[in-house]
């Protein structure tokens, strides 16, 4: 399988990409390690949905499971009810959530995918139409932060209440407006809003801020070495890794962050310069999936 030909905006856990879903841009990808399969046990599965292929925004979704799929290929699953790009795809309580994004216009819509029934259903509406936001799950809570709409970017963060199927602006806003950011939940019990673009500052960002649910506060943390937006980020082995993206001339640069000492360290660069991709922690490895190759 080849990972080079796809630009992904929505994704959960996936391994490598086959030719079945080539040239997708700004789709969703997520690691869905705890989703139940057809036989009921926990499995490691990678999901990708939507994105941009050629001139068309996509609604198609695929899954890859290396344990149950001897053919080593991506398999189609139920398509989303509408096309999406520049959205977030998150694994939450054994379902996938496709959040916001855009096709013909920027959307407030959220949809959830039930693995057992292979079906999509509505999961409420965001407070604002939003694309290019960050989304993650921290302490069994689904959060969405930042994003863009109508020529500006947001500091606001929303929280999903699954029992009400509604979204609320219960969280304190970030210190900086951001879109094209990465929002990463980490094993230290905090989440990190990293990089992106700021309309107010008219610039790309190398700043990072941390939200601590114990204090309900955002705190400015150490800056990255490099300004980045439309990059990949993942929590892996007690550190946070960021790679690629725009905002600098070398789109293959990577660095890691150690929350214990609040310090970034430059690490080996990717083999391919890319933006608009996903960095996924899967089976004790990091996978850089898809994106625009910038050679």
DSSP 218-252: EEE-PPPSS-BBS-EEEEETTEEEEE--BSSS-TT
Among candidate residues 44, 75, 73, 80, the one with its CA nearest the CA of residue 59 = 80
Higher-confidence residue of 114 and 104: namely 114
Higher-confidence residue of 23 and 70: namely 70
Q: How confident is the model at residue 17 (pLDDT cuts 50, 70, 90)?
A: very low
Assess contact for 58 and 27: CB atoms under 8 A: yes
Place of tokens 């509604």: 166
Give domain limits for the chain: 10-293
Q: How confident is the model at residue 275 (pLDDT cuts 50, 70, 90)?
A: confident
Q: How confident is the model at residue 276 (pLDDT cuts 50, 70, 90)?
A: confident
pLDDT of residue 229: 94
Q: How confident is the model at residue 243 (pLDDT cuts 50, 70, 90)?
A: very high
State whether CATH 2.120.10.80 applies to domain 10-293.
yes
pLDDT of residue 64: 84
Supply the pTM of this predicted model. 0.86
Among candidate residues 287, 277, 146, 274, the one with its CA nearest the CA of residue 208 = 146
Average pLDDT over residues 136-154: 93
pLDDT of residue 29: 58
pLDDT digits (tens, 9 = 90+) for 187-237: 999 999 999 999 998 889 999 999 999 999 999 999 999 999 999 999 999
Average pLDDT over residues 166-183: 96
Higher-confidence residue of 67 and 162: namely 162
pLDDT surpasses 90 at 39: no
Burial 40-54 (b: 16+ CB within 10 A, else e): eeebbbbbbbbbbbe
């Amino acid at each position: 399988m080849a990972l080079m030909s796809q630009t992904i905006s929505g994704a959960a856990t996936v391994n490598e990409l086959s030719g079945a879903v080539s040239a997708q841009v700004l789709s969703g990808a997520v690691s869905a390690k705890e989703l139940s399969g057809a036989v009921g046990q926990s499995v490691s599965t990678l999901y990708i949905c939507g994105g941009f292929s050629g001139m068309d925004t996509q609604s198609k979704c695929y899954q890859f499971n290396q344990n149950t799929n001897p053919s080593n290929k991506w398999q189609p699953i139920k398509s989303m009810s509408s096309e999406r790009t520049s959205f977030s795809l998150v694994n939450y309580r054994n379902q996938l959530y496709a959040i916001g994004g855009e096709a013909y216009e920027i959307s407030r819509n959220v949809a959830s995918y039930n693995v057992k029934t292979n079906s999509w259903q509505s999961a409420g509406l965001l407070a604002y139409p939003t694309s290019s936001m960050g989304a993650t799950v921290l302490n069994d809570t689904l959060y969405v932060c930042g994003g863009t709409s109508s020529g500006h970017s947001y500091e606001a963060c929303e929280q999903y209440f699954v029992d009400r199927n509604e979204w609320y602006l219960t969280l304190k806003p970030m210190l900086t407006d951001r879109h094209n950011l990465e929002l990463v939940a980490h094993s230290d019990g905090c989440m990190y809003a990293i990089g992106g673009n700021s309309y107010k500052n008219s610039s790309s960002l190398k700043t990072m801020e941390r939200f601590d649910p114990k204090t309900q506060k955002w705190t400015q943390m150490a800056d990255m070495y490099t300004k980045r937006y439309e990059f990949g980020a993942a929590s892996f082995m007690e550190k946070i890794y960021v790679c690629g993206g725009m905002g600098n001339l070398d789109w293959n640069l990577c660095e890691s962050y150690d929350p214990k000492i609040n310090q970034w360290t430059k690490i080996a660069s990717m083999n391919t310069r890319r933006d608009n991709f996903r960095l996924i922690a899967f089976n004790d490895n990091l996978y850089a999936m898809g994106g625009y190759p910038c050679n």
